[in-house]
Amino acid sequence: MLAMYDFLRMILSFVFVLGVLVFVHELGHYLAARWRGVHVDVFSIGFGKPLYRWYDKVGTEWRICPIPLGGYVRPHGFADPEDVTEEERATYIDGKTFHGKDVGSRAIVIAAGPIFNFLLAIIIYFGLFVTVGQPKLGEPIAQSIIADSAAAKAGIQPKDKLIKIGDIDKLNVEKVILFAQQHPDLSTTITVNREGKDISLPITIGSHSQDGKKIGQLGIGLDMNIIKGKPMSIGSAAIASVEKTWDVSAQTVVGLGQMITGQRSAKDLGGPIKIAQLSGQVSKGGFADLFNFMAILSISLGLINLFPIPILDGGRLVFYAFEAIFRKPVPKPIQNWAFQIGFVLILLLFVFSMYNDISQLSVFRWLTGHTN
């Protein structure tokens, strides 16, 4: 009975989280289109044959579809004029077509989706900071030092407070861990505060192998307990929410870059199954944890859609930048070729993330003999 309850909670949390993220992303496209005078033919949440549909007063068809893995907005006259028949062009509403607008307006419509994902993250963080505060890890104070580690060789002692490492100051536990992991075998300096005095110590970050990759380590035991925050004022929460969104965005980009360069295992890349599992797990902690998770996913969705891959929003923005600079669109054969490559890349990414998800399932590990 408990397993069934957990499964239902996972499904409901997944549908809720992904549904909100997709709706907000597509709402950005929709509102930007309306602002720039483009009629929207269809606004769909989910894929497949519509379960329910209705038309609003301006003629937009709204759909709810059964496959909750995305959605789309179809602006009026979105297809290139040379790709549609005379009969289709005859149905166009004068002045309301997407391709009838200037390149700046088209770029705004496309960019609005990812922008709304970042705005959603800011709004979520703002709401959390105002109501429950900003939880954070404790200060980077050494609780213990591993013998013969990089920290021990540098002379760091228990109770030392880490002030600066390399060029990174204003340290917290997360910054220390990330810097060390990303810089194996780096020779640098670390500044600690010991009994009220700042001491600069030379250090060579240690390393160990994980999934065939080098990961840096200092050998310092830090306090990993999360300190519960206090509700912030509206002004402080507004600033902190923007800073948090920026920090998470930067960390996500760094993480993706490490996967591409091989510094981090690509096994960390998850797909729908992993998102569903995490949605169910974080929902156990309450709405605050679930909304925090939603903010992180919203940032990831915004960043991914800005990748310069033609089938994504970022790829279209690259085409529009070319058109704005050279006063003519990218040649049609190049566009077709690029979209085909983009489709293959996204398909491969989806398949790879699904493989990662499935390979972590216990039944798959049992079948393949990887039970540890």
Q: Residue 216 is part of a domain; what is its CATH number?
A: 2.30.42.10
Range of the domain at 203: 137-227
- Confidence bin at 24 (pLDDT 50/70/90): very high
pLDDT on residue 359: 57
**Residue with the larger pLDDT of the pair 317 and 10:** 317
Same domain, 116 and 141: no
- Confidence bin at 239 (pLDDT 50/70/90): very high
Same domain, 108 and 27: yes
Integer Cα distance of 265 and 106 in angstroms = 37
Integer Cα distance of 88 and 90 in angstroms = 5
202 φ, ψ (degrees, to nearest 5): -70, 140
Same domain, 285 and 221: no
Burial (CB < 10 A; 0-12, 13-18, 19+), residue 200, is exposed
Given the structure tokens 């830090």, which residue do they identify? 222
> Would you say residue 252 lies in a domain?
no
pLDDT on residue 365: 40
Same domain, 326 and 221: no
Residue 53 pLDDT greater than 80, yes or no: yes
Residue 133 pLDDT greater than 70, yes or no: yes
Length of the chain: 372
| Choice among 26, 86, 88, 195 that is catalytic | 26
> Would you say residue 118 lies in a domain?
yes
Same domain, 118 and 176: no
In DSSP terms, which residues pair with 231 in a beta bridge? none
- Confidence bin at 82 (pLDDT 50/70/90): confident
> Would you say residue 96 lies in a domain?
no
Domain edge (last residue) among 227, 259, 294: 227
> Would you say residue 162 lies in a domain?
yes
Q: What is the pLDDT of residues 260-314, one digit of tens each?
A: 666 555 555 555 555 655 666 666 667 777 888 889 889 988 988 998 888 889 9
Q: Is 82 a catalytic residue?
A: no
Same domain, 175 and 119: no
Q: What is the pLDDT of residues 100-113, one digit of tens each?
A: 899 999 999 999 99
Please report, for the chain, how many H helices and E strands are present, in that order.
11, 13
- Given the DSSP bridges, would you call strands 40-47 and 61-64 parallel, antiparallel or unpaired? parallel
Same domain, 113 and 141: no
Give how many domains the chain has, as a whole number: 2
Same domain, 118 and 187: no
